[in-house]
Amino acid sequence: MFSLNGKTALVTGASGGIGSAIAVALARQGARLALSGSNGAKLRAFREQLQAEHGGDHVEITCDLSDTTQVEELVPAALETLGSLDILVNNAGITRDNLALRMKDEEWDQVIRLNLEAAFRLMRACVKPMMKARSGRIISITSVVGATGNPGQMNYAAAKAGLTGMTKSLAQEVASRGITVNCVAPGFIHTAMTDTLPDATKEALNARIPMGRMGTGEDVGAAVAFLAAPEAAYITGQTLHVNGGMAMLG
C-alpha cells in the first residue's frame, strides 16, 4: 500500500478492536507508534504482540481520556517518547446509550467529554509541532450515526457529528502548513461485541448493508493508512465513509 517509513503516530483506544486494527495497518506501512489506552496491562500485551508480529519499536502510554489532566499530558508524552508526531488518530470512544427522555446528565457528559472534548484537546496539542514541521495528519474516527442519527444515541451521534465539524474547521486553519485533517466514518463493524448478538439480529443488520456483511477492523485500518499516507496530501476536511453502502453519503 502506502509507505509510512520514518513516520510517527499516536493512536488512542489502540488496544480495542478497531484501534488495534488501525495500529496494525499503520505499523505494517512502517510507522512507529505510541499506543494509548486506559487499560495498561491490555495495552502492554498488544504492544508486545504488535512488535512480535510486525516488528518496530513501539511504545505504550496509558491515558484515561475522561481525565482532562491526563489528556493534556498525552501529546507531550508522545512527542517525548517518539521524538516527533506526524500522525494523530482519534479513535477512542465510549457509548452510554439511552432514549432521550431517559438519558441522564452524566450519560451525556461522559460521552461528550471522552468522544469530543478529549479529541479537541489532542488536536489542539498536536497542531503546534505539526505546524512547525509544516506537515501532519490528523484523522478522527467518527461513525455513520454522526451523519444519519440513531435512536437511543443522541449523545454519541452528537459527539461524532461534532468531530466532523471540528475536522472541517481545523482543516481550513492548517491546510497552508501542509497538515491534513480528515475523518473515517465506519458503519456496522464486526467486533467481539457483535459476536454476541443473536443470529437473527446479525442477519437483520446485514440485510441493511448492500454488500451483505459487516465491515472489519481491517477495512477501517486501510482507510486510515491511506489518509495518513503522503499520497493523500491533497485530501483534507473530508469524511471517508466505510459502511458497505449502508448509507451512501456525499
Catalytic residues: 156
Distance, CA of 46 to CA of 73 (rounded, Å)? 22
DSSP string over 198-228: -HHHHHHHHHTSTTSS-B-HHHHHHHHHHHH
Write down the residue that cell numbers 499506543 correspond to: 35
Residue 102 C-alpha cell reads as: 431517559
CA distance 228 to 154: 30
Other CB atoms within a 10 A radius of the CB of residue 177 amount to 14
Radius of gyration of the chain (CA): 17
CA angle 228, 232, 237 (to 5 degrees): 85
Nearest CA among 124, 109, 211 for reference residue 167 = 124
Q: Which residues contact 63 (CB under 8 A, 6 or more apart)?
A: 12, 36, 37, 38, 70, 71, 73, 74, 77
